[in-house]
Amino acid sequence: MNMPNKINVGTLDPVTFEVLKNAFATSVDLMSEQILRTCYSFVIYSRDFSSALCDAKGNTVMQGSGDIAVHVGTLHFQCKAVLEEFADDIKPGDVFAINDPYRGGTHLNDVSFIRPIFVADEIIGFAQNKGHWADIGGNVPGSFDVNASTHFSEGLRITPIRVWRQGTFLHDVAQLLVSNTRAPSQALGDLHAQAEATAVCEREILRLVEKYSKETVIEAMQETQDYVERIVLKSLADMPKGEWETVDYIDVDPAQGEGMVPICIKLKLDGNGIHYDLSGSAPAVSTFLNSGYGTTHSAIYAGTKTFFPDVPLNSGFYRAVTANIGEEGSVVNAGWPHAVTGFCSGPTKKS
């Protein structure tokens, strides 16, 4: 697809906007380089992780250029979950952990660490790193139990929790988390590596603030999202409008005997963007193949993103590509306590 070379970038002058947009991308990719050099587990070293910079409201400003496809479109959900949980009780030096698949996460093995970025007393953004821990407890080593029917068989569910308080490491909290894994020393090493990676991003953003001002950096975060939304909508302008639908299947629900499990999807393309509707899909199944709302959105965003290889990935993309996944309790919006670890067949890289 031929992408437009120039798009209106809002009120910032084009040079400043372009410099800051690319600086945001660099700050996120530096997180990735840091985690590669300091992680303990081979699964994270094999690049089963993702990084993101979010704005003060938790919206994604930039995601890593080599991230895992199944993490796409989930990082802002988890940042918003931290904001909802802690509201006004977020301080400089705090770092939060979350893996909750029912709060927009993926599966329990994917643990995120989220660091607020403060300028004086104001949060201007969040740095986040999500990495796949080799084990998170549950019935089987590796925590992928094909016979699981609830999350209790899959491992430790981490709702938003503080692991550093104003720069002080909460050893007891970290020990509680890693002691529920089969490789606690490895998990503890990854915990520190991921948290330190978010500090790398924080330092880069504060460097930009010092050079360009807090107001300019905040404005550039918003305009980077607006830019992506505009460029996607502009690219869609010449495409045929209409509605399409199809059905795919999971082979069987073990509790229901023979019979395929339908996943229904409708696609609508109009002047306002791309819209998906999965509301006609089957109820959640009695095995680990269900998807939470975060991972269903991830599948939609990652699949659609392949048609826009040159567009940065952030919440502007999510404004142009929307989805109705239906009521909680379906195979694509399983909800607590359905098992969800096997929602994907395996990690792949996004374009």
The pLDDT, as a whole number, for residue 200 is: 97
With 80 as the cut, is the pLDDT of residue 8 above it?
no
Give the closest residue to 334 by CA, choosing from 300, 287, 302.
287
CA–CA separation, 141 and 186 (whole Å): 14
The pLDDT, as a whole number, for residue 349 is: 39
DSSP bridge partners of 62: 53
CA–CA separation, 298 and 168 (whole Å): 34
CA–CA separation, 342 and 275 (whole Å): 26
Q: Is 212 helix (H, G, I), strand (E, B) or coil?
A: helix
With 60 as the cut, is the pLDDT of residue 146 above it?
yes
Domain ranges of the chain: 14-228
216-250: per-residue pLDDT in tens? 999 999 999 999 999 999 999 988 999 999 999 99
CA–CA separation, 55 and 222 (whole Å): 8
The pLDDT, as a whole number, for residue 351 is: 35
Q: Are the C-beta atoms of residues 232 and 308 closer than 8 Å to each other?
A: yes
Query: Exposed, middle or buried: residue 205 (CB in 10 Å: 0-12, 13-18, 19+)?
Result: buried
Q: Are the C-beta atoms of residues 73 and 145 closer than 8 Å to each other?
A: no
- Average pLDDT of the chain is 92
Q: 5 vs 141, 235, 273, CA distance in Å?
A: 49, 11, 20
Strands (E), 292-346: 321-324
Q: What is the mean pLDDT of residues 280-308?
A: 93
| 186 Cα distance to chain centroid | 23
Of the pLDDT bands very low, low, confident and very high (cuts 50, 70, 90), residue 3 is: very low
Order of all β-strands in the sheet with 110-119: 60-63, 49-55, 122-132, 110-119, 95-98, 161-165, 168-169
pTM assigned to the model? 0.92
DSSP H or E run through 31: helix 14-38
CA–CA separation, 208 and 217 (whole Å): 7
Of the pLDDT bands very low, low, confident and very high (cuts 50, 70, 90), residue 9 is: low
CA–CA separation, 110 and 135 (whole Å): 10
244-276: per-residue pLDDT in tens? 999 999 998 888 888 899 999 999 999 899 999
Give the closest residue to 312 by CA, choosing from 254, 239, 226, 249.
226
The pLDDT, as a whole number, for residue 258 is: 83
* Non-local CB neighbours of 294 within 8 Å, separated by 6+ positions: 73, 74, 77, 78, 101, 103, 104, 105, 106
With 70 as the cut, is the pLDDT of residue 196 above it?
yes
295-338: per-residue pLDDT in tens? 999 999 999 999 998 898 999 999 999 999 999 999 999 999 99
The pLDDT, as a whole number, for residue 259 is: 87
Tokens 């740095």 sit at which residue? 127
With 80 as the cut, is the pLDDT of residue 10 above it?
no
